[in-house]
Amino acid sequence: MSKPAPSLARGALGPRRPRTARVVRVAPMAAAPSEPLLDALLAGMPGAAWLVDLAQQQVVAANAAAATLLARPLAQLHGASAAALSASLEDLAWWDAARAGATAPLLSDTVMTTVDGRQLHVTRSIRAVALQPRPDGAASHALVTLTDRSAEQRTETEREALLSELQATLEATADGILVTDPGGKLRAFNRRFSEMWGLPLALLQKHDDVAVHAWMARSLADPEGYRQRLRTLDQATLLVASDRLTLLSGKVLERVTRPLVSAGRPQGRVWSFRDLTERLAAQERIQTLSCTDAMTGLANRVRLSEQVEAALVRSRTDGQALALLVVDLDRFRHINDSLGHETGDRVLMDVAQRIQRCLRQDDVMARLSGDQFAVLVHVADAAAAEAAARRVLNVVAQPCNLDSVQFTLTCSGGVALGPSHGRTADELLRHAEAAMRAVKLAGRANYRLHQARDQVDRRSHMTLDHAMRQALVSGRFRLHYQPQVRLADGRVVGAEALLRWRDPEMGDVPPSRFIPVAEESGFIVPIGDWVLSQAVRQAALWRAKGLAMPIAVNVSALQFQQAQFVDRVAAVLAVSGLPPALLELELTETILVHDADDALQRLHALARLGVRMSIDDFGTGYSSLAYLKRFPIGKLKIDRSFVSGLPGDESDAGIVRAILQMARALDMRVIAEGVETEAQRQFLHDAGCHEFQGYLFAPALDALSFEQRVPAGGVPDGALAAVPGPGGPGIRLVRD
């Protein structure tokens, strides 16, 4: 702990009152006065007093006050040695000098010890008095008087203790403290005060008030304002006030001042200074963090909303519209899964920079979540908003080259205009996000302007969802089966179960309309479960009739992700008695990309059951060769969109050949879907594709039509195990 500052040293709060020496003047007596006379004389004195015969240096008379103070019987004082009664060095020297005739008066504060051991703080006076004429005119006696100062001394000691406690308290606080008198003079301060202001301690110790105040004013960013406030405080002596001072060094101090009142009167002021610099910096950091995206440094959703709200308020006065663009990267998850999260983060930062570079300076860009960004475009009508969206789509689609891996990203965007599409930031964001999601469903890599219809669509989704639930309980769903044909010999080697729904009011509702709604609402889980058990039951029935027909069932991502999915498949197979190899699950690439490790475990569990698996709509996702190798998948289904252009479209032909090549390398089978023409079939056959399905052979048929269309036959149980194939035992249709 630091030393008490000198300002609180004893002298600082006022010097002790000066004493005036009291002089005892007694007229010399003609003869030696009698003891009773002397006693009577002394008895009349207010304090303790005794008279000493200078020749003997013995007490010849004393008063009762002396006996009380010295705690001795009066009788004992008579004849006592003068030096023994007051024995300080000063006293002893006086008595010595007196013996040699030097009797200058002595008046000082001293400490006496009584016979009972008490210490007495007294003011003691010794004066020579001429009570008896001496030939040399010298004094005959000395009068010793004592004034007890013990009470005063106690007060003094207590005061000093109080002062040092106060000083220790001042030093113990983390605040800088300054105490001034009503005229502004320094009365006390602590070390922290000098440190905070960078004040040289010497200046304070000297109590150079003018220099200290000038130093403080000089250190401030606004010295005039500071002086002004001081003047106000000077005039309001009882005012408690606080304010903030900014120093030229950048430090920010909080100053609190309260009046120092004693006996109801202002005695000055106490000023305390607290260094807020770090706290303010921390607050600023928190503030920045709370509205910034830590990774990209862009605004976050909160900050964006504030900016959109502000722009909406402005648009009310200046009538200028604004646009909000929400952009989501397409299949970004796959980048994370295949290249790692660290690379994924770098890609996101790269994308953020690209987008930012193509915006105007006052546009606000934010990162809403993982791979979702938003841009607030000020002063933008529909055309300007669409132009901005196209620019963003374009820069995102520029090829990326990271760590010598080359790839191309696309993104989907949704745009909402303010205030026409929404009067709050929340509303605009919702509309822009919904428009973006609609783009995703429609095949991604595009943008879309919010349309009032979107809301109608949402309402119709709810109606459709309700109708689907009714349809399931009322048994209005049916399954149709589309034959899968082997290209080599034209034989039917499988059937894909496809869901059909005829609603009493809406008529036939195609899966492309209701499956996405069911996927969004989660109702796909019970529907998918119904399809699975229905399809497996049908396959078991056919098998019982002598038609061993492998059945392919579509499985949605959400259904696959259910914790009990594998158990459910096993249970359905067990109940029906269908050999697992006759069931094929058609999975989408999303399933593999989403939580790849979890998916891998589940796929292995299904493979252990003996179930076969294929990837539906292959080519529309991000699956790469390296990626597929990890999974126990036996078959790829080339998406219809690549088949439709065959054989004329070079790009489709190239993609189909590449898929076939890749599948050969992975030892996988390939089926092409949506084959409608003989030319397509021929191309696929020549290119080495294994199977096809499509209207060329047959659309999806009800179970009875399927049986009629497919000649009786099937796969004998023994043959299933005998023909090994990739990802599980192969199946060969053997006619009876």
Task: Map residues 522-561 to x or -, x wherever contact with ligand C2E holds by CB under 6 A.
Answer: ------x--x----------------------x-x-----
- What is the closest distance, in whole angstroms, from the C-beta atom of residue 657 to Mg ion in the complex? 19
Q: Is 20 in the site for ligand C2E (CB under 6 A)?
A: no
- What is the closest distance, in whole angstroms, from the C-beta atom of residue 498 to Mg ion in the complex? 7
Which partner in Mg ion, ligand C2E, none is near 512 (CB below 5 to 8 A by kind)?
A: ligand C2E
CA 642 to chain centre: 49
Residues in contact with ligand C2E, counted by CB under 6 A, come to a total of 23
Q: How far is 702 from 499, CA to CA, in rounded Å?
A: 10
Task: Map residues 494-513 to x or -, x wherever contact with ligand C2E holds by CB under 6 A.
Answer: ----xx----------xxx-
- Supply the DSSP symbol for 14: -
Task: Map residues 457-496 to x or -, x wherever contact with ligand C2E holds by CB under 6 A.
Answer: -------------------------x--------------
* Secondary structure (3-state) at 482: strand
What distances in angstroms separate CA 241 from CA 229, 254, 256, one per listed residue? 10, 11, 6
Task: Map residues 563-592 to x or -, x wherever contact with ligand C2E holds by CB under 6 A.
Answer: -----------------------x------
Contacts of 438 (CB under 8 A, 6+ apart): 414, 448, 454, 457
Is the C-alpha dihedral spanning 65, 70, 72, 77 positive or negative?
Answer: negative
Q: How far is 139 from 222, CA to CA, in rounded Å?
A: 74
Per-residue tokens: 130: 């001429």
Q: How far is 134 from 147, CA to CA, in rounded Å?
A: 30
* CB closer to ligand C2E, 307 vs 534: 534
* Secondary structure (3-state) at 441: helix
- What is the closest distance, in whole angstroms, from the C-beta atom of residue 617 to ligand C2E in the complex? 5
Residues in contact with Mg ion, counted by CB under 5 A, come to a total of 4
Which partner in ligand C2E, Mg ion, none is near 615 (CB below 5 to 8 A by kind)?
A: none
* CB closer to ligand C2E, 53 vs 673: 673
Region from 98-106, 290-298, 306-314, 671-679 binding ligand C2E, contact rule CB under 6 A:
671-679
* CB closer to ligand C2E, 274 vs 637: 637
Contacts of 650 (CB under 8 A, 6+ apart): none
* CB closer to ligand C2E, 8 vs 552: 552
* CB closer to Mg ion, 197 vs 481: 481
Q: What are phi and psi of 20, to 5 degrees?
A: -105, 135
DSSP string, 37-53: HHHHHHHTSSSEEEEEE
Q: How far is 28 from 130, CA to CA, in rounded Å?
A: 5
Region from 115-123, 194-202, 209-217, 616-624 binding Mg ion, contact rule CB under 5 A:
616-624
- What is the closest distance, in whole angstroms, from the C-beta atom of residue 588 to Mg ion in the complex? 9
- What is the closest distance, in whole angstroms, from the C-beta atom of residue 637 to Mg ion in the complex? 6
Residues 510 to 569 in contact with Mg ion, rule: CB under 5 A: 554
- What is the closest distance, in whole angstroms, from the C-beta atom of residue 640 to ligand C2E in the complex? 6
Q: Is 616 in the site for Mg ion (CB under 5 A)?
A: yes
Q: How far is 702 from 705, CA to CA, in rounded Å?
A: 5
Per-residue tokens: 709: 């269309």
Which partner in Mg ion, ligand C2E, none is near 180 (CB below 5 to 8 A by kind)?
A: none
Residues 603 to 662 in contact with ligand C2E, rule: CB under 6 A: 616-617, 640
Q: Of the candidates 84, 695, 702, 717, which one interacts with ligand C2E according to CB under 6 A? A: 695
Where b means 16+ CB within 10 Å and e means fewer, 382-391 reads: eebbbebbeb
What distances in angstroms separate CA 28 from CA 18, 100, 131, 337, 720, one per listed residue? 31, 21, 4, 121, 151
Q: Is 584 in the site for Mg ion (CB under 5 A)?
A: no
Long-range contacts of 108-111, Cβ-Cβ distance < 8 Å, separation of 24 or more: 109/149, 110/86
Task: Map residues 617-646 to x or -, x wherever contact with Mg ion holds by CB under 5 A.
Answer: x-----------------------------
How many other C-beta atoms lie within 10 A of the C-beta of residue 336?
19
DSSP string, 529-592: HHHHHHHHHHHHHHHHTT----EEEE--HHHHTSTTHHHHHHHHHHHHT--GGGEEEEE-HHHH
Question: Which residues sit at the interface with Mg ion, rule CB under 5 A?
Answer: 554, 586, 616-617
Question: Which residues sit at the interface with ligand C2E, rule CB under 6 A?
Answer: 482, 498-499, 510-512, 515, 528, 531, 554, 556, 586, 616-617, 640, 673-676, 693-695, 700
